[in-house]
Chain A
Amino acid sequence: METGETLGGRSGLNHKYAERVSLLWDLAVNDLRRAEKDTVLGWGWTFVRPAVSLIVYYVVFSLFFAMPDESPGVPYSIWFLSGMLPWLFHAECLGTGVYCFSEYGYLVRKICFPVYLIPLIRLISTFIIHILCIALLGALCIFENHFMQIRLIRLVYVCVCELFYTGTGLFVCALLAAFMRDMESLTAISLQAGIWAVPVLWNMRKVPRKFAELPAFNPMYHVVQNFRYAFGCEETPGSGLSLAVFQSVCAVLLLLCILLYRKLRAHLPDVL
């Protein structure tokens, strides 16, 4: 059944999708605002929380744990943060988004709503904060006299990669979590362990030669490497292998999204 007849069903297809995008944006903004409900600072918290953690990382890694030989030619704090940011986005998105279907159950049970938008609400709202963090990182770079190059344009590509990979991953996890609560713990554990599978807290250069290709099999590596490359913290945007792995994983995830959604969509109102 066409679920979207509520949304401008009588007008053209373009209008329908424009309508959905604007609805998605409204819901994402609402999603952000809900976290700040009943607070004095209000909107400020949206920005303060990630900014404080970013600044703490910055202070700690530039004053106390600065390891200049880890990142030749680049302030260590900048190198560290440019790896940490994409990971934080990924972890925040999956960590809080895995519950999104039960959180937004009222949209599934009570009204006719294009259910596939629900994981995207969390994706977009987290991404808004992510963009703010990127801007802050840019400011820190200027503060550190680390001049960014034309490569920074690559950030656009990185953001697309982030949205696609994290988005599809979130969609699959959230959909499965609606049917088995185990997914929630599973996601939390894999995020905890996952950070060590990506060269965020450690350096690729320290990896023994025979394992050098191993991190490339982690799709997140492609994102982190490209993010650092865009900020001038790495010399290469990663190997061709890492790109191939990333693309195929994304393709598989997208396929899973479509298949699972088709199979499970009708069951959602019964389980939420």
Chain B
Amino acid sequence: MECVLEGEHICKEYRLYQRTADRLVEAVTGGKIVRGKRHTALRDISFSVEKGEAFGIIGSNGAGKSTLLKICAGVLEPDAGELHKCGKVSALLELGAGFHPDYTGAENVLLTGRVMGVPRSVMEERLPGILEFAGIGAYADQPVRTYSSGMFARLAFAAATNVDADILIVDEALSVGDIYFQNRCFRRFAELREGGVTLLLVSHDLETVRNMTSRTLWIENGTAKMCGESREVCNAYAAEIHRKENEDYLKRSKREAECGEETHEAADERAEEFKAVPPGVPGIAPKAGDILSGSVRILHCYFENAHGEAVSELTGGTFCRLVIVFETEEELQRCIVGFVLQNRKGVSIINSNTLTVQGGKTFPVRAGSLCRVEFAMNFPVLYQDIYVLDCAVAEGESVMENELKTWIYGATTVMVRPQGTCLAIMDIPQKVTVKTSDIGLKESIAAGGRSGVHAQV
């Protein structure tokens, strides 16, 4: 395959100065008089993108994604390393093409085309289509400074994808559009790629990157962490985010743990000895707002897949187990363990406990023991998002009458992916039957104007 974009050991440093004039002095004297502070944005990044390929770039904020895109777009120059590109690059950096706020939408489109080397007459022919795509209607002849951010981004996108570029660079441009616009954008991407256009996409939305691109580069702190097949890289990135979140929990727990008898690490070790938890599952760190008691402590709360592996992502409709591990120093004669699964907006999706599942039965736990409770289920097909899980241990007779021993808010989070699409909160398995009956429509069409007679008869 033909390589259209290739970066070799690209490095980029930003220089920070007290005054911009210092930058001038340094640039002119070659750094002999003033030297600004250095901030390394990219360190030895190498990658190559083939013709017609969709290539993703992911990474947390400040990782250097935008800098790399700017270098690819030719706006910035790398301090070291080389970038080879062949073909015309059209870039949508930070939601705006080179639009001037005082010019009207139409003028800006024409100007963008001109700057990108498309003759004015060609651009004028395309203008109606571009405005139509952007859906800005009567605003076409208004200065773009009067546009809403969505209109601006839509027009910028429409303009940038209509200038016969060989390489299209898109930096988070789609996040402002609504779902219809995003959908149209994706179709446009597909069209362009069929025409041999190479796509470079930066997004925080892993799902977009996973679906849109074939290969992905993951940058962290200016260095390439991973580069390969999008699915693998995105999964590794998601796992890393999850790991970091848990690390934060642990750090906080270390600070906040003041119960003298034993540390969480010790409890973790014991739990692993007990073989209740696969290694690597993080412990629960109590946060402000959690209900705690000195005697009962939830140690772990996590989802397991069918193979017994701890997971942070679940696919709706598949088998999984929710595992809650706790220890108690007092005897719980009528123990109840429960959980609540909430969506991002705090709406409870599942509220369940051992009492209701087992038909009003409780179970006893001896003092000083470790207990593992598993809720096995077919996970529901939910809207694709991150869900938060609270878990609790109580002692009592019923859901109404019990003594809450501990309640941990946000004990774990789980990313849910639906099987297929789920556009509402949830989806259920359904069976569809379609029946049709012949009402003689065919004949009436064939008979032309006589259909009226048929109806009367």
Contact = CB atoms under 8 A, between A and B. Distances in A.
19 contacts: A1-B77, A6-B115, A8-B117, A34-B102, A106-B100, A110-B91, A110-B94, A111-B93, A112-B74, A112-B91, A113-B98, A176-B24, A179-B20, A264-B27, A264-B28, A265-B77, A266-B76, A266-B77, A270-B14
A51 B249 CA distance: 73
- The SS class assigned to the A binding surface is helix
Nearest to A20: B117
Given A8-B117, A106-B100, A179 B24 contact: yes
A129 interface: no
Contact of A267 (B27, B83, B111): B27
Interface of A: 1, 3, 5-10, 19, 23, 26-27, 30, 34, 37, 106-113, 176, 179-180, 182, 260, 263-267, 269-271
B74 A110 contact: no
A180 B21 contact: yes
A128 to B, nearest CB: 18
Contacts of A5: 74, 85, 87-89
Contact of A26 (B78, B100, B114): B114
Contacts of B23: 179, 267, 270-271
Contacts of A176: 24
Contact of B28 (A7, A26, A263): A263
The 8 closest A-B pairs by CB, nearest first: A112-B74, A179-B24, A111-B98, A180-B21, A110-B98, A7-B117, A266-B77, A263-B27
Given A176-B24, A264-B24, 11 more contacts: A5-B85, A5-B87, A34-B102, A107-B98, A110-B97, A111-B75, A111-B112, A179-B20, A260-B28, A263-B28, A267-B27
Contacts, number: 102
Interface in B75-111: 75-78, 83, 85, 87-89, 91, 93-94, 96-100, 102-103, 107, 111
B51 to A, nearest CB: 14
Contacts of B321: none
Nearest to A114: B115
B84 to A, nearest CB: 10
Question: Binding site of B, secondary structure by majority: helix, strand, loop or mixed?
Answer: mixed
B74 A3 contact: yes
B15 interface: yes
Contacts of B98: 106-107, 110-111, 113
Contacts of A1: 74, 77-78, 83
A270 B94 CA distance: 15
Contacts of A108: 75
B76 A269 contact: yes
Contacts of A111: 73, 75, 91, 93, 97-98, 112, 115-116
B270 interface: no
B99 A106 contact: yes
Nearest to B100: A106
A182 B27 contact: no
A111 B100 CA distance: 12
Contacts of A106: 96, 98-100
Nearest to B95: A110
A112 B23 CA distance: 22
Contact of B102 (A37, A263, A270, A271): A37
A30 B20 contact: no
Given A6-B117, A269-B70, A30 B27 contact: no
A7 B87 CA distance: 10
A6 B93 contact: no
Contacts of A23: 114-115, 117
Contact of A6 (B14, B24, B77, B89): B89
Contacts of B112: 111
B251 interface: no
Contacts of A30: 103, 107, 111
